[in-house]
Amino acid sequence: MKITVLDGYGLNPGDLSWEGLAELGELTVYDRTAPTDIYERSKDSEILLTNKTRLDADTIARLPKLRYIGVLATGYNVVDTEAAKTHGVTVTNIPAYSTMSVAQQVFALILAITNKVEHYAEENHAGRWSRNPDFCYWDTPLTELAGKTIGIVGLGNIGKAVARIAIAFGMRVIAYTSKKQEEMPEGIEKKELCEVFAESDVLTLHCPLTPETEKMVTDTTLSLMRPTAILINTGRGPLIDEGAVAEALRTGRLGAFGADVLSSEPPATDNPLLTAPNTYITPHIAWATKEARERLMGIAVNNVSAFLEGKAENVV
């Protein structure tokens, strides 16, 4: 059984082991695969693993030996699943491996905005505190989260984890979700989407990217928000209209924006958010703690093993 990993570097830049997969077949791992190399590297493989390398309908049709595609992520839009189904190819993903890591990153972004730790650390590296005439100083607003309202759009595993942390901080938690109020975890109020936008001091997005949610943050929805509000996106980049968010930041209609995802990654140098004020952007790292990547690797191995045993798991 020939197993090929098309873009393994993101998952494993060298601090994990591919041994579990190697035990299941003849394994070849590529750090990255350009579109022009996909066919040549895949043509003899029964099993392909991909993270962000796209496997479209034409590619799948040209791979008659292919039996299985394992997506090394939760989102699987990089694979044409209808084409895979037509050609009898099983597709799996990796659910719920990074829940706590992403929730942690949400609050890392929130705290970066409210507490400005990096700013003060850098100032003090430069000697500012040592030169200060008083025992302390601050030149930015410092904000306490207790008593503030956090709005969560999408109440899946990550949304619920964020809610639990927010409750521990003493925040009021409201959410837009398909769940009924009686199904809501304790301490979370169900609200309509417009109410979540209007009432939140912090608004964080945790919904899937669908035609209905694409660019759900627009000039219109931003106009509902408080001008001091913080917007956080660790979900999918296209959930927001990046130009509209950048303009709201520049004109003082939005307090701050924190994100771990953008609509195109790596972003174009002219992406307006890269130069917008009060913007805190990390390079899609919320999922990438070693602990989360170890879980991802373990689930990937289990997915392939289950498929080979005729009991496929996490099929999409």
Q: If you count them, how many residues does the chain have?
A: 316
Tokens of 290: 């070693």
Q: How far apart are CA 85 and CA 36, in angstroms?
A: 24
Burial (Cβ within 10 Å: 0-12, 13-18, ≥19) of residue 118: exposed
Burial (Cβ within 10 Å: 0-12, 13-18, ≥19) of residue 312: middle
Q: Which amino acids are annotated catalytic?
A: 236, 265, 284
Q: How far is CA 127 from the centre of its chain?
A: 36
How distant, in Å, are the alpha carbons of 139, 223, 262 from that of 273?
Answer: 24, 18, 9
Question: Residue 39, by phi and psi: left (phi above 0), alpha (psi -120 to 50) or beta?
Answer: alpha
